[in-house]
């Protein structure tokens, strides 16, 4: 059965699903995405990744500040069967959810009810989860609380960071929504409510949360750096200099128990050893202001001179 689809999404995560739907037997009639906003150092106005893909394929794009009556009227004019939502970045009202014949389906990057909210990938990595996945959910007014139509598991591989996990989940999301739409009536008739006991929330993150807390354990810091690899990057301060921490690995116990957390233990060709709450973290790759990410091994002499006897700051209390 061919469906007339409206799609709502904004970032890179939503792109594989949109591309797959455009290439499918279905008819993508409308795309909704967030308004163009200035980004980057130059604050140039940029299109969202979803808008770029939609325009490349000649699909009409709409960018309402809020989905309301105009959105509902557009979907009615196009006789939309189902609205597919993937990381749209805006709460969708019940009136909009009720407008398509088969309602609205959400591609969510976790195994609900674990990690409801805007940042499920970050929180899964911070928690040290060894698996996550994609949920196709029938949307309702609550926050990611709707009935589950379909779930697909994905193992979180050792060392996997945010961007790699997002890419894998985006592809899995595209496969999952294709599977559901191919047998939509079947999956909707077997939708199941989310379990009340396993609910965890993953609220939107901010840049301040990306700052490394060196008083944490070596394991938690390693997870933190992987969780914030992307936007925003993990960072710390050396005096007034803000440094992005790109890659670390958990090291051994502190060689000097008197060193405070954040103190540089040594600068070796392998990386910058930093004391933390229960041991040492080895920073193997970092990014100085205005520069590209650098492996410590590639410029050991520079980093040895810069960081010997240094102390990285912890978050302000």
- The per-residue pLDDT string of the chain (317 residues; one tens digit each, 9 = 90 and over) reads 899 999 999 999 999 999 999 999 999 999 999 999 877 667 788 899 999 999 999 999 999 999 999 999 999 999 999 999 999 998 899 999 999 999 999 999 999 999 999 999 999 999 999 999 999 999 998 899 999 999 999 999 999 999 999 999 999 999 999 999 999 999 999 999 999 999 999 999 999 999 999 999 999 999 999 999 998 999 999 999 999 999 999 876 655 567 899 999 999 999 999 999 988 999 999 999 999 999 999 999 999 999 999 999 854 54
Q: What is the DSSP letter of 211?
A: B
Residue 45, phi then psi, degrees to nearest 5: -70, 125
Domain architecture of the chain: domains with CATH: 4-198 (3.40.50.170), 207-307 (3.10.25.10)
Residue 115, phi then psi, degrees to nearest 5: 70, 60
pTM of the model as a whole: 0.94
State the Cα–Cα distance between residues 66 and 21, nearest whole angstrom: 24
Query: What pLDDT shows up at residue 142?
Result: 87
Tokens standing for 261? 């957390």
Query: What pLDDT shows up at residue 148?
Result: 98
Query: What pLDDT shows up at residue 254?
Result: 57
Q: Which among 227, 197, 215 has a CA at the least distance from the CA of 262?
A: 215
Residues in Cβ contact with 250 at an 8 Å cutoff, skipping those fewer than 6 apart: 218, 219, 221, 222, 279, 281, 282
Query: What pLDDT shows up at residue 74?
Result: 96
3-state helix, strand, coil in the chain (%, to 5): 30, 25, 45
Query: What pLDDT shows up at residue 6?
Result: 98
State the Cα–Cα distance between residues 9 and 220, nearest whole angstrom: 32
State the Cα–Cα distance between residues 198 and 275, nearest whole angstrom: 35
What are the helix (H) ranges across the chain? 15-23, 49-56, 69-77, 94-97, 120-126, 162-182, 184-189, 218-227, 300-307
| Cβ atoms of 144 and 201 closer than 8 Å | no
Query: What pLDDT shows up at residue 120?
Result: 98
Query: What pLDDT shows up at residue 216?
Result: 93
Query: What pLDDT shows up at residue 251?
Result: 74
């Amino acid at each position: 059965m061919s469906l007339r689809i409206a799609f709502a999404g904004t970032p890179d995560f939503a792109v594989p699903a949109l591309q797959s739907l455009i290439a499918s037997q279905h008819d993508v009639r409308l795309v909704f995405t967030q308004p163009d906003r200035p980004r980057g150092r130059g604050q140039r106005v940029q299109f969202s990744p979803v808008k770029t893909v939609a325009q490349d394929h000649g699909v009409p794009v709409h960018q309402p500040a809020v989905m309301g009556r105009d959105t509902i009227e557009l979907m009615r004019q196009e006789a939309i069967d189902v609205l597919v939502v993937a990381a749209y970045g805006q709460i969708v009202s019940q009136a909009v959810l009720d407008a398509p014949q088969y309602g609205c389906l959400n591609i969510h990057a976790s195994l609900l009810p674990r990690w409801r909210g805007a940042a499920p990938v970050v929180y899964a990595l911070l928690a040290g989860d060894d698996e996550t996945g994609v949920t196709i959910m029938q949307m309702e007014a609550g926050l990611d609380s709707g009935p589950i139509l379909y779930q697909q598991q994905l193992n979180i591989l050792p060392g996997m960071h945010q961007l790699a996990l997002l890419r894998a989940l985006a592809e899995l999301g595209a496969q999952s929504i294709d599977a559901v739409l191919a047998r939509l009536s079947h999956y909707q008739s077997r939708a199941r409510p989310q379990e009340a006991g396993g609910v965890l929330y993953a609220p939107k993150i901010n840049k301040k949360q990306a700052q490394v807390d060196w008083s944490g354990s070596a394991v938690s810091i390693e997870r933190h750096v992987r969780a914030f690899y992307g936007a925003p990057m993990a960072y710390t301060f050396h005096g007034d200099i803000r440094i992005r921490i790109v890659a670390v690995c958990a090291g051994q116990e502190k060689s000097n128990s008197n060193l405070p957390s954040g103190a540089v233990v040594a600068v070796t060709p392998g990386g910058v050893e930093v004391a933390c709450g229960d041991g040492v973290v080895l920073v193997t790759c970092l990014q100085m202001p205005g520069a590209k990410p650098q492996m410590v091994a590639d410029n050991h002499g520079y980093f040895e001179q810069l960081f010997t006897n240094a102390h990285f700051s912890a978050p302000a209390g």
